[in-house]
Amino acid sequence: MSSIARLTGAAAAAGVVAAAIALPAVGGTGAMFVSASEDLGIKARDLKEPPLAERTTVLDATGKPIATFYEEYRENVKLEDIAEIMKTAIISIEDYRFYEHGPIDIEGTVRALAKNFASGGIAQGGSSITQQYVKQVLLNSATTAKEKNAALEASYARKLNELRYAMAIEQKYTKDQILEKYLNIAYFGARAYGIEAAAKRFFGVKAADLTLPQAATLAGAVQDPLQTDPSRGKEFKERLLSRRNVVLDRMAELKKITPEQAAEAKATKLGYRGTLLPGGCEASDFPYFCMYVRNEILSNTDFGKTKKARTAFLNRGGLEIKTTLDPKMQKAAERAIKKHVFASDNPVASEALVQPGTGAIKAMAASRKYGTNKRKNEMSYNLVANAEHGGGTGFQAGSTFKTFTLLTALGQGMKINDGISVGDGYRAPAYWSFKNCKSQNMGEPGFTVTNAEGGGGGFKSLATGTWGSVNTFFMALEQKVGLCNVVKTAKSLGIERSDGLPLQEYETFTLGINEMDPVTVANAYAAIGARGKYCEPMAISSIKDRYGKVTNYKPKCKQALDPEVADAASSILSGVFTKGTMKGVGGIGRPAAGKTGTTDEQSTAWFAGYTPDLAGAVSIGDPRGAVTHKLNNITIGGQYYPSVFGASIPGPIWKDTMLSALKGIPATDFTPVNTARFGGCGASCQPRQPVRPQPEDNTDGPLDEAQIGTTVTR
């Protein structure tokens, strides 16, 4: 340990003052200081300079910014991109001999230490810009309260360490580089870090365009940014104005500006604008998609091994995150929802659009705005996604799950016209008629599943049973193909509960008893549209780091279904628009397939559909509790509904969305069915003498799940 390090209190102060006074007021390279520092045993110490926290910008697929994340709002700029008057102002008030002295300004230090010695404490800093930069680096590097306090404490030990680090910094960088680093790291108040953010926050301009009064204001703010923070009120603005005028006087004293220029600048108002800083998802035009991206980074180990590391990556990394959001498709979804459901309605409609073959999420929209204002009926969680991505518990998916039973049946060799004769009600023959994937009995012989209003009995093929969405048929079909096999099919297409809990594998699984979110359902249907190619939901396409390195993210896909099975399912589901529950709504003028979904007594309603180019899922339900607040005898979007079904609101929203979202995109045909494999019927043809005649179609319009069968939940 050096002799100076062993001194404490007034003795240390006296020692340093004596050593400093023994030196003449040096300039140039500061060689005399180096010599004195060697005599005192002060040696340069390398300073670790972790990257500064910088804002992260989120972009849509076209490159337009949609959100900003940051721990400290900062935009690093080059020295040449900072107005000359700003450089002059900060040097004039903070370290007017900056370009003349070494790591320490002997004159300033002697003056400050003498005053400190006389007062018995730290009364004056006397720090050079280099020393101030060191202090800011240490403060920004601190991760604990103890480290932050050590970086700020008023002690000679800290000042001595600063000198050691400053010596190394002056050896490592030029004066211009040090000034640039200082102006980028300094805190100016009003949550603005660095000169570029401060210029925008205080005056709504870039650092390159700062005027004399503005530059003097910011130069004055760095001394005590908390006490001169103009965002805190009138008293603080007055302090900042006074401090600005001190800077102007100093600049005039040093002949950097004329007395007339100083007087003219002092006559101007403070001019603080308080420009709003870019915010997080609450400030985004696309808050639900923004929340999905944010939570994807915070929960995905691809972006950091720990939650702390991922948070720092997002909020401090200075990233440019390009996403899959298509603004045209997003607007299409928003318009369609707004047309059918009002933001003031208690039930909420939400929709996700996903690209088949990539899993790219193209849009996420909801009828309510994101926020915490209950009076405005805002929502504070992600209605469109699962809990992992900021969502809630979701809504029961209803008859959209029947598609997974259909796929399982086709995969086991059933043909399009194969079927089962069913009655008006269905009861499991035995407890072991249904087994979950743990081989546990899930049959409930004492429980009857019915078709609404007693209709829907008779022989149903895979096609007619699907078009009519007949509950009893799908219960019998699930029994035939195996409950666990249906669950496996669903899981292979990414089906997971919105709340993250295990899927409920009861006998009514095919009727959609599990709570889902639109992203998950849309993505599962997108896989069918991609001929069985399942891709994980994808919201981020690339990330450019602060150094300009770009990492591209490719779709994570697998072949989940036999392509020909998917083709056959698409053929059947296409008939939903022409012969089934969407007949009254109609198609979209291009090949499309889909399935309506309604839960027991209209608790929730869904529509999930797809083309080879785009898939979407729409849900509607009451977030106060779908079971207790059902969709019966209700006005939604200004229209009264005795009961809401999948074709009542979700279907029309999906149709309107697709018509707009796909406008200008050439239509793609589904791959034709392999009729040799799936055409006609095999071992389960319709009996020559049906068990009972099928009821006639509703002559007043399309088949409606109210007549044909609704989802019965446990």
Which pLDDT score is estimated for 441? 96
| pLDDT given at position 160 | 81
Which listed CATH number (3.90.1580.10, 1.10.3810.10, 2.30.110.10, 1.10.3290.10) goes with 186-278?
A: 1.10.3810.10
Provide, rounded to the nearest whole percent, the portion of the chain with pLDDT above 70.
86
Residue 598, exposed/middle/buried by CB under 10 A (0-12, 13-18, 19+)? buried
Other Cβ atoms within 10 Å of 208 Cβ, number: 16
- Mind listing the pLDDT tens digit for each residue in 537-587? 999 999 999 999 999 999 999 999 999 999 999 999 999 999 999 999 999
Q: How confident is the model at residue 106 (pLDDT cuts 50, 70, 90)?
A: low
Q: How much is the pLDDT for 147?
A: 72
pLDDT of residue 659: 98
62: closest CA among 541, 526, 523? 541
CATH 1.10.3810.10 positions along the chain are 186-278
Instruction: Give the contacts of 709 (CB within 8 A, at least 6 positions apart).
Output: 399, 450, 451, 452, 455, 456, 468, 469, 470, 471, 472
Contact 527, 303 (CB under 8 A): no
Burial of 566 (0-12, 13-18, 19+ CB in 10 A): buried
Summarised one tens digit per residue, pLDDT across range 35-73 is 444 444 578 889 999 888 889 999 999 999 999 999 888
Q: How far is CA 439 from the centre of its chain?
A: 39
Residue 319 · residue 51 · CB < 8 Å: no
Rounded Cα gap, residues 340 and 333, in angstroms: 11
* Three state DSSP letters for 224-283: CCCCCCHHHCHHHHHHHHHHHHHHHHHHHHCCCCCHHHHHHHHCCCCCCCCCCCCCCHHH
List pLDDT tens digits, range 613-627.
Answer: 999 999 999 999 998
- What number is the average pLDDT over the span 329-339? 98
Q: Is 604 left (phi over 0), alpha (psi -120 to 50) or beta?
A: beta
> What is residue 206's predicted lDDT score, i.e. its pLDDT?
97
- Give the tens place of pLDDT for each residue, 480-516: 999 999 999 999 999 999 999 999 999 999 999 999 9
Identify the helix (H) or strand (E) that includes residue 193: strand 192-193
Please tell me which residue, 239 or 160, carries the higher pLDDT value: 239
Q: Token pair of 550, please? A: 């770009």
436: region left, alpha or beta (phi > 0 left; psi from -120 to 50 alpha): beta
Written as one string, the DSSP assignment of 506-539 is SGGGGGT-SEE-HHHHHHHHHHHHTTTEEE--B-
Looking at the chain, the whole-number percentage of residues with pLDDT higher than 90 is: 73
Given a cut of 80, whether residue 595 has pLDDT beyond it is: yes
Write out pLDDT tens, residues 141-154: 876 777 777 766 76
Judge whether 365 and 350 are in contact, CB under 8 Å.
yes
Task: Write the DSSP assignment of 397-464 as a string of letters.
Answer: -GGGGHHHHHHHHHHTT--TT-EEEE-SEE--SSGGGSB-TT--B---TT--EE-GGG---EEEEHHH
* pLDDT above 70 for 245: yes
Question: What 3-state DSSP class applies to 58?
Answer: strand
Is the whole model's pTM more than 0.85, yes or no?
no
* Dihedral, CA of residue 156, residue 162, residue 165 and residue 169, to nearest 10: -150
- Model confidence over 350-406: pLDDT tens digits? 999 999 999 999 999 999 999 888 889 998 899 899 999 999 899 999 999 999 999
pLDDT above 60 for 237: yes
342-351: average pLDDT: 97
Average pLDDT over residues 337-347: 97
And the tokens for 366?
A: 């909801």
Contacts of residue 421, defined as CB under 8 A and 6 or more positions apart, other chains included, come to: 458, 459, 460, 687, 690, 691
Confidence label for 528 from pLDDT (cuts 50, 70 and 90): very high
Q: Which residues touch 488 (CB under 8 Å, ≥6 apart)?
A: 437
